[in-house]
Chain A
Amino acid sequence: MKRLQKLGAYLFLLLIGYVFLFPLLFMIMSSFKPEQVIFADLYSIRAILPVGDLTLDNYRQVFEKSDVLLYFRNSILITSATVILGLFVNSLLAFTLSRMRWSGRKYILAAVVALMIIPIEAIVVPLLLLVSKLPTIGWEQGGLVLMGSWLNSLEVQILPFVANSFFIFLFYQFFRDIPKDFDEAAELDGATPFQIYRHIIVPMSGPVFATVAILHFLLMWNQYIWPIMAVQGEDARPVMPGIQIFFGRQTSWGEIMAYASFVTLPVLAVFLAFQKKFVSSLAGAGIKG
């Protein structure tokens, strides 16, 4: 009886798992199949299996028809710059909020918590006007020049997303729970607050740095609405808006799937590499938040 129950549980899990995995597997497998085969396989289990005449034609077409490698490079630059800067900036503020005493601290903390509820969509329109009026320094013909606006650049996709109230809050929660004895001892030895941050808090906070890095990575890699608005030209375009080249014109589904698979690859790689840490830390973050 017990064994039968277990078997039933597994069968049910497999069924639900199929529902959750199908679109992703279908996308990846279809990217290697010619158009007719995608349709022929669609209604059977073959849709999610790497069977039949597999080809790289779709990928070849995608690389030919679009600057996907340029978009990919842009996304990598934008994402890594934002995540690295973000880890610094957000953890530093969280450190002063959680481990130092200063007047105004409570108000800043309340403001950070309040900002967590504002979704990016609510401010993109005025943000667009703001950045269109900000001057910036850029490289042109080998020299530094002052440029008219931030639009169509990589920095317009980086700087607005470095400071993030949710990540500050995650750091704050983690730092707050570290025992204060270490700081006290270090302080008696004459350590500055930055030294305490650098040599005591950061080494003890691996998990929260990993969580924030992964969440920030996902957020940045999947950016869509902001680059659509702020980046009209090709030069600074990231991967997600680039997909419209294939989707908008109703060209071949094989090529769409190839593009989609290609730009999903880094995310899946990071997710599978860090999944255990990722899943458990995210659950912890959610329940406390």
Chain B
Amino acid sequence: MNANTSVNSSDTLTVSSGRPAETRRPPRKRYVFLMSAPALLGLFMFMVLPFLMALGMSFTDQRLLSPNATEWVGLRNYDRLLNISWLVQEPVSDADNHLKRTAEGELVYPRLRSVLRKNPEYKEFKEFTHWSFGDKRVVLLAKDPSFIQSIINTLLFVILVVPIQCGTALGLALLINQKLRGIFLFRTVFFSPVVTSIVVVSIVWSFLYHKDLGLFNHYLNAMSFGLIGPVDWLGDPDWAMPSIVLMSAWQAAGVQMLIFLAGLQGISGDLYEAAELDGAGPWGKFVNVTLPGLKNTTIFVVISTTIQAFGLFTQVDVMTRGGPQGSTSTVMYHAVTKGFREQDIAYGSAISVIFFLAILAIALLQKRFFDKREDA
């Protein structure tokens, strides 16, 4: 793309003077090429090309190591990932038209597996979840229920971690924005988890979360005077994801804290003085000066934290391996499990493509948001 550099544009180094191009033009072109080529080659080889390969492979049955020839399978991988269906089941009744019940008084439904097998429409579908409406039962079906579960888990993580992490970061930024001696020391302390590897952090926190020995259960027990028994933080499907959320927010909040701090220091002191003259208290100043002044910073922080959160992988891999019962499997964890551990690289590629499109959609929403703000 550098080879066809146009001749008419002002090919000089200087921009401000706008001097016409001189005889040195051809060598300069070569300089542009030589100086930009290494990085462009790297970006192309290891970012753009893999993505294009993922796009291509997602329509095949490519495996990581396989003697068989690769074949085109069209949209089959995407169909497996995203196809959802549902069916309604009537409860089973006996010969006298009475509804059958189990010993516990639960209604009995036809065995789902045989229903799905009998009907070609439901080929390859498995149960994802079901709800009861009166006597009827609605069964939600998916071809890869664990991927649907992974999407839901990832969204849950994002929805929980973004406000907690950004809120913590804002709180910390306000704390270290005070004019106190030695405040820099605290800034370093709050930031220290960020430089620590998330692998190391996950391992140390696994110990703190431990059911019998961990610190969390010890404090919980002490503070509730023994009323609250030990919680299996990482072993309970209901608690595993919130536990990962808490640790992740703790680990990464330091980054957003620094960005918020820069935002806070960019707010003019005059505004605070004016608010004080108007009789505003600390809370009034916070709501009327600080928050509006941090608007751009907040947008940036929220969007970048969100994009980062969608990529959740390492914590899950170290702490729970996607369990218990798939409650912490994420989109990226599923992609690596399928594409690498199960060697189905085409399927993993299809997940990567879907993931990329989701990230792109968020980035475009961000851009629209910013553009709108500029219009206003």
Which residues of chain A have a CB within 8 Å of any CB of chain B?
Answer: 6, 9-10, 12-13, 16-17, 19-21, 23-24, 26-27, 39, 42-43, 88-90, 92-93, 95-97, 99-104, 107-108, 111-112, 115, 117-130, 132, 159-163, 165, 168, 180, 183-184, 187, 192-194, 196-197, 218, 221-222, 224-225, 228-229, 240, 243, 247, 253, 256-257, 260, 263-264, 267-268, 271-272, 275-276, 279, 282-284, 286-287, 289
Contacts and interface: CB of A to CB of B under 8 A. Distances in A.
B28 A17 contact: no
Contact of B36 (A96, A107, A127, A279): A96
Contact of B13 (A100, A108, A123): A100
A124 B261 CA distance: 34
Given A101-B10, A240-B199, A243-B203, A21 B64 contact: no
Interface stretch (B40-48, B96-104, B225-233, B272-280): B40-48
B12 A101 contact: yes
Nearest to A179: B16
A17 B41 CA distance: 44
Contact of B189 (A21, A42, A163, A289): A21
Nearest to A129: B345
A27 B204 CA distance: 7
11 contacts: A12-B175, A101-B9, A119-B310, A122-B352, A125-B54, A125-B345, A132-B64, A160-B46, A163-B41, A224-B314, A247-B206
Given A89-B42, A224-B198, A121 B189 contact: no
Given A24-B192, A163-B39, A243 B199 contact: yes
B53 interface: yes
- Specify the main secondary structure of chain B where it touches its partner: helix
A168 B199 CA distance: 27
Given A126-B57, A129-B53, A287 B259 contact: yes
B27 A192 contact: yes
Interface stretch (B79-87, B111-119, B179-187): B179-187
Nearest to A230: B340
B13 A225 contact: no
B297 interface: yes
B5 interface: yes
A98 to B, nearest CB: 10
Nearest to B215: A42
Contacts of A123: 46-47, 50-51, 54, 352
B262 interface: yes
B42 A159 contact: yes
Interface stretch (B132-140, B235-243, B353-361): B353-361
Given A100-B32, A168-B39, A267 B196 contact: yes
Contacts of A276: 184
A39 B29 CA distance: 67
Given A101-B10, A103-B6, A225 B178 contact: no
Contacts of B281: none
Contacts, number: 282
Interface residues of B, number: 102
B9 A125 contact: no
Nearest to A93: B39
Contacts of A180: 14-16
Interface string B30-42: 0110011011111
Of A26, A89, A102, A184, most buried by chain B (CB within 10 Å of CB) is A102
B2 interface: yes
A194 B35 contact: yes
B35 A129 contact: no
B50 A16 contact: no
B151 interface: no
B198 A222 contact: yes
A128 B336 CA distance: 11
B352 A126 contact: yes
Contacts of A286: 255, 258-259, 262, 300
Contacts of A95: 35
Given A100-B13, A193-B35, A229 B340 contact: yes
B201 A23 contact: yes
A21 B192 contact: yes
B311 interface: yes
Given A17-B189, A129-B57, 16 more contacts: A10-B180, A42-B213, A96-B35, A118-B47, A118-B51, A121-B335, A125-B345, A126-B50, A160-B46, A163-B46, A263-B197, A267-B197, A275-B191, A282-B258, A283-B259, A286-B258
A125 B349 contact: yes
B176 to A, nearest CB: 8
B167 interface: no
A197 B195 contact: no
Given A13-B175, A159-B46, A279 B187 contact: yes
A6 B180 contact: yes
B218 to A, nearest CB: 5
Nearest to A130: B50
A104 to B, nearest CB: 5
B31 A117 contact: no
Contact of A90 (B28, B39, B195, B206): B39
A267 B32 contact: no
B198 A104 contact: no
B315 to A, nearest CB: 10
